[in-house]
Chain A
Amino acid sequence: MKWDEFFVTGEPMIYAADVSIVLVSLAIVIGLTYFKKWGYLWREWLTTVDHKKIGIMYILSALIMLFRGGVDALLMRAQLATPDSKFLDAQHYNEIFTTHGVIMILFMAMPFVIGMMNVVVPLQIGARDVAFPRLNAVSFWMFFMGAMLFNISFVIGGSPDAGWSAYFPLASLEFSPTVGNNYYSLALQISGIGTLMTGVNFIVTILKMRAPGMKLMRMPMFTWSVLITNVIILFAFPVLTVALALMMFDRVFGSQFFTMANGGMDMLWANLFWVWGHPEVYIVILPAFGIFSDIISTFSKKNLYGYKSMVVSMVAISVLSFLVWAHHFYTMGQGAMVNGFFSITTMAIAVPTGVKIFNWLFTLRKGKISFTSPMLYAMGFIPIFTIGGVTGVMLAMASADYQYHNTMFLVAHFHYVLIPGTVFGVLAGMHYWFPKMFGFRLNERLAKTAFWLIIVGFNVAFMPLFFLGLNGMTRRMYTYSASTGYGPLNMIATIGALILAVGFVVLCYNFFYSFRHSPRNEGGDPWDARTLEWSTPSPVPVYNFAKVPVVHSEDAFWHAKKHNVPLYEEGPYEEIHMPNNSGQPFILGVIMFFLGFFLVFSWFIPAIIAGVGVIIMLAVRSFERDHGYHIPPKEIAATEQKLRGDTV
């Protein structure tokens, strides 16, 4: 391979990206050295096993990826704003919508959601950490290195260009000869394994590590949603693991799973991909439902309406999510009977989802609603998501789907589901739990400005796409002629995308503004909230709870506040056992990165060396005898005194 094939060349935008990557890396290195922060970075972040810090790192990575995916989106919208535009060529456009999809789903939505789980779930159930803190760090570094591997593709070797669903035979070596889709299979594989481990970790955490008295039916709704989500992860991700492995075998080792000759079957890929892909949608949306449930209840000053039916509906959604995958390809010719079956299962999902919408609306009833920034996102979610939901029912009807499939109507639909669902969900959660993570709230005025820009921009950007789709505009076309008449609506959509982008800029500016100006003395419970995490001081000490809380009812903290029942038993502190930090997860992640990178380029000898490195890391972990450390009662008392100004 020649160097000019190794590095992507010939594109001014890529050169600009090269330069900016080098400059940013240099700035980071110089900054860390100048401020003598290398040790701090290593000790406090890279080696941490603390679920709160891991959660923050997930969220930070997700925000960076949101920026990358957002830039991709803006480039696409810029290209489509006018007919016959020459801004991007076909290949570049194809790469951009592919990376936009992959990054937004797998490297933005997933880590954002998992970050929220990490920060919040142990606090909500009264645990000191997740069940396997070290494994949690491994999960994070696998995700992070997978994301980095995917991101370097656009400067080294070329990005994948076959869409985020990478349908074969288009994604085969024959029709996509660059290494782009090798990156796809390996980067997703590495981060997918991390996600699977997260699934195991959180199921054990939630089922086994709840505080005394926290029965399953007393858990906060977010914790419930996380439990169900992780069960879906556990059953869905192995399918992705297999699909990606077969893809890698086809592309790197010349096997014949999805090829066009020797018995290969392209339809098999589509099936495997969507058997994972549809549950994946619920993996990113159920936790958002949980976040909205907690937020709506908190800011209506009421308990969640229909708690039991909320749980049952989530379980129903999770089961149904595995029975609908073929609705992604009704047009594959499987006949009216199969399509009819999948139409009905798909529409059936509307029933439990509708139950949730009505329960949220009735939670508001007779409440005392305050429109804080998290609540605004939750209230923005309901009407917009309902549009996404009802268009979903329309798409579920196979006969009609023959006309919507692959069009902008579909694009509009899933953005109407995923943006109000997942993105508003995690943004609401971020504003809501921000004081728990950092000890201060985000500025409300700026947060609300950002919200209104985002919600207006979103609708202006995506509403026109419904009509473009019905007018025959297909997705993924890099250009269209003026005679199609698609021009004006596309221009409106681009303007909407710009408003949306401004909204995100304001949202990010708010971090800096609030870091400098927000008050720091608001205590552990600035929102007058209901669940256990708010009974801890903000920011939360490393051990979370000085004493393990005792739960007497649903909304445990609210109950304790209203009825003056102590959450914590009287008596002196006891020693707390904590896990040690470790550099191993980070090192393992780095080795996995190189293993993936070498396989992308079919450099087998370095790959084997990296593979041996992985086995050595596993052996090191097996032989390690690390029993953690203990925090003495005196130190706990001192910490609590400092954070709360009193003893519990």
Chain B
Amino acid sequence: MKINDTLPLEYRTEENSNKIFGFWLFLGAEIVLFSTLFAVYFTLWNRTGNGPTGKELFEVGGVIWETFLLLTSSFTCGLGIHAMRLGLKKPMMIFFVVTLLMGLGFLGIEITEFVNYVHEGATLQTSAFLSSLFVLLGTHGLHVTMGILWGAGILIQVGRQGFTDETANKSFIFSLYWHFLDVVWIFIFSFVYLKGLM
């Protein structure tokens, strides 16, 4: 196995650097996936049928909190990776725990919001606009859920094994994923909520 000691731990083996490159490609595919969902949303957003429009539905409060939590969690995730590069296991784990908790908070608000929508009679079946809204937000939410499960698994492995080239590699790839979800959210925030409220 070729090992290049000049690189950070997560890049050191050839296999690991392949994994990071592969994950970047996967994120490329994810960008296409979310772009398609956005395209669907933009096509259908004013086709509200008998259902409510975005303006009638969206509430600023929850969305601001969601945005705050996810943006901050992206920052703490970055701090975690920084700690990992310095070889500090405990701070890294704390930052990751904070990241995942904020992710959970985000999910909690999103689910409450969905429940509210449904109570107002705005369901997946109501109109094309709502179908595309639920599927776009839901896909992002599902990604966050998977991220939380995945991140928790990695935390356990880091706790047990410390920083090995494997756990470091996984943590780093997880951080890429988490930042990506943050970027997607910024687009959702701007082009779904802000645009919808205007």
Contact between A619 and B153, CB atoms less than 8 A apart: yes
Q: CB of B176 within 8 A of chain A?
A: no
| Stretch in B3-11, B48-56, B72-80, B85-93 touching the partner | B48-56
Q: CB of B150 within 8 A of chain A?
A: yes
| Nearest-Cβ distance from residue A599 to partner chain B, whole angstroms | 15
Number of A interface residues at 8 Å Cβ cutoff, please give it: 44
Contact between A235 and B40, CB atoms less than 8 A apart: no
Q: CB of A196 within 8 A of chain B?
A: yes
Give the complex CA separation of A131 and B25 in angstroms.
13
Give the complex CA separation of A199 and B26 in angstroms.
9
The chain B residue sitting closest to A234, CB to CB, is B29
CB < 8 Å: which of A204, A239, A253 contacts B36? A239
For A199, list chain B residues within 8 Å (CB).
25, 29
A132-B40 contact given A256-B131, A261-B49, CB 8 Å threshold: no
A263-B129 contact given A249-B124, A255-B135, CB 8 Å threshold: yes
CB < 8 Å: which of A207, A275, A615 contacts B21? A207
The chain B residue sitting closest to A233, CB to CB, is B29
For A253, list chain B residues within 8 Å (CB).
124-125
Contact between B40 and A272, CB atoms less than 8 A apart: yes
A615-B43 contact given A131-B22, A234-B28, CB 8 Å threshold: no
For A132, list chain B residues within 8 Å (CB).
18-19, 22
The chain A residue sitting closest to B28, CB to CB, is A234
Cβ contacts A247-271/B at 8 Å (1 or 0 each): 0011001111101011111001000
Q: CB of A445 within 8 A of chain B?
A: no
CB < 8 Å: which of A201, A256, A275, A623 contacts B22? A201
Contact between B28 and A235, CB atoms less than 8 A apart: yes
Taking CB atoms and an 8 Å cut-off, the chain A residues in 199-227 that contact chain B are 199-201, 203-204, 207-209
| Nearest-Cβ distance from residue B123 to partner chain A, whole angstroms | 9
Q: CB of B149 within 8 A of chain A?
A: yes
For A241, list chain B residues within 8 Å (CB).
33
Q: CB of A520 within 8 A of chain B?
A: no
Q: CB of A245 within 8 A of chain B?
A: yes
Contact between A255 and B125, CB atoms less than 8 A apart: yes
For B131, list chain A residues within 8 Å (CB).
246, 249-250, 255-257, 264
Contact between A262 and B29, CB atoms less than 8 A apart: no
CB < 8 Å: which of B29, B44, B127 contacts A200? B29
CB < 8 Å: which of B28, B37, B49, B150 contacts A263? B49
Contact between B124 and A262, CB atoms less than 8 A apart: no
A200-B43 contact given A238-B36, A242-B37, A256-B49, CB 8 Å threshold: no
Q: CB of A365 within 8 A of chain B?
A: no
A268-B32 contact given A254-B125, A622-B154, CB 8 Å threshold: no
A256-B36 contact given A131-B22, A196-B29, A204-B25, CB 8 Å threshold: no
Q: CB of B1 within 8 A of chain A?
A: yes
The chain A residue sitting closest to B23, CB to CB, is A200
Q: CB of B30 within 8 A of chain A?
A: yes
For A249, list chain B residues within 8 Å (CB).
124, 131, 135
For A209, list chain B residues within 8 Å (CB).
18
Cβ contacts A17-33/B at 8 Å (1 or 0 each): 00000000000000000
For B127, list chain A residues within 8 Å (CB).
256, 262-263
Give the complex CA separation of A235 and B28 in angstroms.
8
Contact between A254 and B124, CB atoms less than 8 A apart: yes
A265-B135 contact given A131-B18, A272-B40, A623-B157, CB 8 Å threshold: no
Q: CB of B126 within 8 A of chain A?
A: yes
For A264, list chain B residues within 8 Å (CB).
47, 128, 131
Give the complex CA separation of A577 and B129 in angstroms.
53
Contact between B135 and A200, CB atoms less than 8 A apart: no
Contact between A268 and B150, CB atoms less than 8 A apart: no
Identify which of A235, A242, A249 gathers the most chain B CB atoms within 10 Å of its CB: A242
Q: CB of B169 within 8 A of chain A?
A: no
Q: CB of A237 within 8 A of chain B?
A: yes
For A246, list chain B residues within 8 Å (CB).
40, 131, 135
Q: CB of B175 within 8 A of chain A?
A: no
A265-B44 contact given A196-B29, A622-B153, CB 8 Å threshold: yes
The chain B residue sitting closest to A239, CB to CB, is B36
Contact between B26 and A262, CB atoms less than 8 A apart: no
Give the complex CA separation of A200 and B26 in angstroms.
6
For B43, list chain A residues within 8 Å (CB).
265, 268
Taking CB atoms and an 8 Å cut-off, the chain B residues in 112-134 that contact chain A are 124-132, 134
For B130, list chain A residues within 8 Å (CB).
256
Identify which of A207, A241, A263 gathers the most chain B CB atoms within 10 Å of its CB: A263
Give the complex CA separation of A626 and B21 in angstroms.
21
Give the complex CA separation of A249 and B132 in angstroms.
10
Cβ contacts A414-426/B at 8 Å (1 or 0 each): 0000000000000
Residues of A bordering B, CB below 8 Å: 131-132, 196, 199-201, 203-204, 207-209, 234-235, 237-239, 241-243, 245-246, 249-250, 253-257, 259, 261-265, 268, 272, 275, 577, 615, 618-619, 622-623, 625
A-B contact pairs, 30 of them (CB 8 A): A132-B22, A201-B22, A204-B21, A204-B25, A207-B21, A208-B17, A208-B18, A208-B21, A209-B18, A234-B32, A241-B33, A254-B125, A255-B124, A255-B125, A255-B135, A256-B131, A257-B131, A262-B126, A262-B128, A263-B47, A263-B48, A265-B47, A265-B128, A268-B40, A268-B43, A615-B149, A618-B150, A619-B153, A622-B157, A625-B166
A132-B18, A207-B21 provided; 10 other pairs, C-beta below 8 A? A200-B22, A234-B25, A235-B28, A238-B36, A241-B33, A242-B33, A255-B125, A262-B51, A263-B47, A618-B150
Residues of B bordering A, CB below 8 Å: 1, 14, 17-19, 21-22, 25-26, 28-30, 32-33, 36-37, 40, 43-44, 47-51, 124-132, 134-135, 149-150, 153-154, 156-157, 166, 170
